[in-house]
Structure formats: structure tokens, C-alpha cells
């Protein structure tokens, strides 16, 4: 089952995405909808107002928290000659960094080294604190696509990464979440790719994650309560532009496509910020 937040006549609506239509779920956005303890049943049985034709996708959620994970693909870590981490590397992103799956991505005027990072996104569907693995798995509403577009020249100004990770309107997410019980996402690993102007620059399998989604939810729930709509960005594989020789960065007009098997894709054009 696919759930999304779409823009309709200047407002947003939470919807279920069927093959040829979107069904209204009775809430202004998906975060509000996920706060219902019976959201899954409501979503499956909804048969209210429908929207057809081209849909305008907002960010799939407007979360309280976006928690990001670094260094989380086993093959990439080992090929760099590093040891596998014993604990997740965490940093944060703010909701204003998020844009819709087909919106433009802003390349900030302050940065000349904007880079791509294709990632699997995990969306929380129930409040969870001090969870074991089973409780953590049950708290996952579903999975989505995101690209943690990063200002490398700001990220590495200090040993703390946040400042390079949360520039406004840089992070596409969506177009929908696929619920965790959907057979499309039940496989051990899903193919993840990133294309930049038609070139495949990243390709990996989510089964290669060091810390899987349930492990991450359990770990984070020891730190802070996770609530419906929170997003966990699970990390990116090798192939980022900053590591290339010579380095390659996103440019004004670059076409960025981020795709995950069984979930969907974000298709975004990059635009240089004008001050």
C-alpha cells in the first residue's frame, strides 16, 4: 500500500495511491494521519474523495525529526579499508530541508560543492521508546526514497556534519511511502540507484546495510521518543561525487534521479539559489 501527501488547490491532503487515482484519507497530511493508532486499517478501507490525473507530491511527511545515519553500507566501508562500526554514526536534518519527489532541488549560493547521496528512508508509524527489535519493527510505517544532498564544503568545516546536511530545500523525499507489510518491500534487499544527468553514479543493495531499519529504530528509541512521521535516513553507498577523481558536483540544471526497487523514484532538477 502506498501513502502520500499531495498538494491540491493550495493545501495538502493525505492520500492512498492506487494505480490510477489517489484516495483522500481525511487528514491534511500524512503525519496527522499516522497519529491515528488504526491508521493502517483506515488507509486500507478509505473510499472517500478521489483525485485523478497528474498529482503534485509534497514531501511525503513533514516530520518532527529527521535522523540520518552515516557509514552504513558494509561493502563501501570495507572497500575504503575501514572497520565496520560498532554503533551508528548519527546526525540530524530539519524539515525545511525536505522537498517533494519531483520538486526542484536548491543548490545554495553559499556552496560550490553540492553532492548526491541516495538513501532508503524509514518512516515511523507509532510512538516508540526503549524498543526491542520486534517493537522497533512494528513501529515502522513504511519506506520511502530520499537523497541526502550535501554541501561538502560546509560539512567538513568542522568534525560535526549537520551544517552541510540541512540546507533549505535540498533533500527530495517521496513520492510516497510503501507500507512495511507490502510484499514489494519484504525482500531481504532492494536495489538502490542514483543517476546524475543520465549517468548511474551509485548502485547498491539495501541488504548490505550494517544497521538495518529495525536496529536503527531500536537504537534511536534509547535516545529519544520516536513519533509518527519521523524519518530515519539509513545512509548512502559508495559513488558520491566528492570521492571521485576528479570530484564531481551537482550543477545548475543537473537532473537527479534517485530510485529504490519496489518503492519508487524521486526525479529532481537542481537550481542554483539566486539572492
d(CA 197, CA 255): 5
The CA distance from 239 to 117, in Å, is: 8
- pLDDT tens string 113-166: 999 999 999 999 999 999 999 999 999 999 999 999 999 999 999 998 899 999
* 75: pLDDT strictly greater than 90: no
pTM of full prediction above 0.95? yes
Average pLDDT over every residue of 41-46: 98
CA distance 275 to 273: 6
Give 80's pLDDT tier (boundaries 50, 70, 90).
confident
pLDDT > 80? residue 79: no
Percent of the chain with pLDDT over 70: 100
* Average per-residue pLDDT for the chain: 96
CATH 3.90.850.10 in the chain is located at 62-272
Q: What is the pLDDT of residue 186?
A: 84
DSSP 68-79: EEES-BHHHHHH
d(CA 5, CA 27): 9
Q: Assign residue 81 a region (left: φ > 0; alpha: ψ between -120 and 50; beta: otherwise).
A: left
Assigned fold of 62-272? Fumarylacetoacetate hydrolase; domain 2 (3.90.850)
**What pLDDT does residue 132 have?**
98
Amino acid at each position: 500500500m502506498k501513502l502520500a501527501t499531495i498538494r491540491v488547490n493550495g493545501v495538502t491532503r493525505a492520500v492512498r495511491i492506487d494505480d490510477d487515482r489517489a484516495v483522500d484519507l481525511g487528514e491534511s497530511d500524512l503525519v496527522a494521519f499516522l497519529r491515528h493508532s488504526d491508521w493502517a486499517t483506515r488507509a486500507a478501507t478509505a473510499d472517500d474523495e478521489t483525485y485523478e490525473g497528474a498529482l503534485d507530491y509534497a514531501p511525503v511527511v513533514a516530520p518532527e525529526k529527521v535522523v540520518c545515519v552515516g557509514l552504513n553500507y558494509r561493502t563501501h566501508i570495507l572497500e575504503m579499508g575501514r572497520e565496520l562500526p560498532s554503533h551508528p554514526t548519527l546526525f540530524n536534518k530539519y524539515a525545511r530541508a525536505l522537498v517533494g519527489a519531483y520538486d526542484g532541488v536548491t543548490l545554495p549560493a553559499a556552496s560550490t560543492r553540492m553532492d548526491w547521496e541516495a538513501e532508503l528512508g524509514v518512516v515511523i508509524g507509532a510512538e516508540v521508546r526503549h524498543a526491542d527489535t520486534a517493537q522497533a519493527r512494528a513501529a515502522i510505517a513504511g519506506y520511502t526514497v530520499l537523497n541526502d544532498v550535501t554541501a561538502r564544503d560546509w560539512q567538513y568545516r568542522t568534525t560535526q556534519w549537520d551544517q552541510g546536511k540541512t540546507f533549505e530545500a535540498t533533500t527530495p523525499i517521496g513520492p510516497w511511502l510503501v507500507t512495511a507489510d507490502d510484499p514489494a518491500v519484504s525482500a531481504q534487499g532492494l536495489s538502490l540507484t542514483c543517476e546524475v544527468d543520465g549517468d548511474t553514479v551509485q548502485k547498491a543493495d539495501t541488504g548490505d546495510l550494517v544497521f538495518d531499519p529495525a536496529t536503527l529504530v531500536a537504537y534511536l528509541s534509547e535516545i529519544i521518543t520516536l513519533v509518527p512521521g519521523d524519518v530515519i535516513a539509513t545512509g548512502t553507498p559508495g559513488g558520491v561525487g566528492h570521492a571521485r577523481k576528479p570530484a564531481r558536483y551537482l550543477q545548475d540544471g543537473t537532473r537527479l534521479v534517485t530510485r529504490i526497487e519496489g518503492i519508487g523514484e524521486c526525479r529532481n532538477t537542481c537550481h542554483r539559489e539566486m539572492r
